[in-house]
Amino acid sequence: MKFDFDEVIERRGTDSSKWNSNSNPNFLPMPIADMDFRAAPEILAALHKRVDHGVFGYADAPPWVVEAVQEKLFRDYGWETEPKWFVWLSGLVVGLNVACRMLESAADAVVTTTPIYPPFLHAPDFTGHPRIDVPLLQERTRYEIPWDALEQQLASPTAKLFLHCNPHNPAGRVMRREEQERLAELCQRHDVLICSDEIHCDLVLEPDLRHIPMATISPEVAARTITLMSPSKAFNLAGLMWSFAVIPDVALRKAFLRSARGIVTELNVFGYAAGEAAYRHAGPWHDALIQVLRRNRDLVRETVADLPGLWMPEIEATYLAWIDCRGRQFPCEPSLYFEKNGLGLSHGSAFGARGFVRFNYGCPLPTLQEGLRRFREIVAPLARVNA
């Protein structure tokens, strides 16, 4: 089946947060992480069917949806789960906050690596816990975990929870098995719980890399892990607010549920229909999407490589390119300068990294080409730093 990922679909006037982010009709927004693609036909059909039923009361997770999720986890990761392990959530950010809220003492600290998706930085603050940031090492072509620094922080007596992001937003890294094992071993050794945000798990772009859920490393690791997942990124369903936590350990699950009480409510009925269709029927659409995202990522990489002074790590997963602009003399914070010149990119400072921008390439080719044209035109006249 052929899917047209290069059709430009008008999103202005459709309540899109991304396309509402600037009222200038000539502004091109490429920040917030959703894609400008229509969802898979199988998902649209499932949603139409649900609409046609016409009754939209509160919903519990239907057993066939639970089965669809379990089958997906087994098919893709060999992960055998039980229905009772699932906690349904209206978003992964909710899950990050509920996990932090679970910590017992106000002194309990949350460890994470930076740069990082901003809600990782906010969740500890919102829930009144100290945050310990461990900056990733910016190597020649990618980010690496600073193992000694991380161990030192996890060993701190107050460190109780590690907020892990894999695949990593914005670093674009897919953790290798050895890295996952080493992270897990450190958390076990220092008795630190793991909340593993794996929302980008279905967006691995390198053919020889596989996503490895943290909880599949061993039963002992699974027992200290809260895994957060959703089809929302890879199937472009973010506005349906449908996601889940997988928590095999009964005590941990009870603590999570206690912390969610009165805050996490029933989920959107459309989410169940779309989620099941995504996991059961949208495989061919998803395969085609990955090809398009690889092409788009390569175009962004080529543009950045043509502009000396800029740096972009290898983006192994996600549709988000992370670009270090510190090698060019921007007159102000780069994201603001791009914005002033008609191109909306995410602000690096929100991720804990001034001087960086994040470029969302989950869009049709004409939109991407225009975004890259503007990007080049804005950067090219700027002098190099120390050149």
Ligand X SMILES: Cc1ncc(COP(=O)(O)O)c(C=O)c1O
Give the binding site for ligand X (CB under 6 A).
Answer: 33, 91-93, 117, 165, 169, 197, 199, 230, 232, 238, 243
Q: How far is Cα 265 from Cα 236, in angstroms, rounded to an integer?
A: 22
E strand or H helix that includes residue 286: helix 283-305
Residue with smaller CB distance to ligand X, 113 or 243:
243
Phi/psi of residue 204, nearest 5 degrees: -75, 125
Phi/psi of residue 246, nearest 5 degrees: -115, 120
Q: How far is Cα 184 from Cα 369, in angstroms, rounded to an integer?
A: 41
Residue with smaller CB distance to ligand X, 212 or 378:
212
Whether the upstream peptide bond of residue 167 has omega within 30° of 0, thus cis, is: yes
Minimal distance, residue 113 CB to ligand X, in Å: 12
Residue with smaller CB distance to ligand X, 14 or 329:
14
Minimal distance, residue 162 CB to ligand X, in Å: 14
Phi/psi of residue 135, nearest 5 degrees: -65, 130
Residue with smaller CB distance to ligand X, 34 or 276:
34
Minimal distance, residue 332 CB to ligand X, in Å: 25
Residue with smaller CB distance to ligand X, 112 or 153:
112
Angle, CA of 82, 196 and 218, to the nearest 5°: 55
Residue with smaller CB distance to ligand X, 18 or 160:
18
Amino acid 31 reads: P
**Bridge partners for 343 per DSSP:** 28
213 contacts 200 by C-beta, under 8 angstroms: no
The answer for 172, left when phi > 0, alpha when psi is -120 to 50, beta otherwise, is: left
Minimal distance, residue 386 CB to ligand X, in Å: 33
Minimal distance, residue 228 CB to ligand X, in Å: 7
Structure tokens at 303: 């543009």
Residue with smaller CB distance to ligand X, 35 or 292:
35
Minimal distance, residue 240 CB to ligand X, in Å: 10
Residue with smaller CB distance to ligand X, 33 or 246:
33
Q: How far is CA 346 from CA 170, 333, 341, 343, in A?
A: 10, 11, 14, 10
Minimal distance, residue 200 CB to ligand X, in Å: 6
E strand or H helix that includes residue 47: helix 41-53
Residue with smaller CB distance to ligand X, 97 or 328:
97
Q: How far is Cα 191 from Cα 202, in angstroms, rounded to an integer?
A: 29
Minimal distance, residue 87 CB to ligand X, in Å: 14
Q: How far is Cα 343 from Cα 379, in angstroms, rounded to an integer?
A: 12
Minimal distance, residue 230 CB to ligand X, in Å: 5
Q: How far is Cα 238 from Cα 90, in angstroms, rounded to an integer?
A: 10
Please give the residue whose beta carbon sits closest to ligand X in the complex.
91
Q: How far is CA 163 from CA 64, 134, 166, 279, in A?
A: 31, 11, 10, 26
**Location of structure tokens 């007596």:** 157
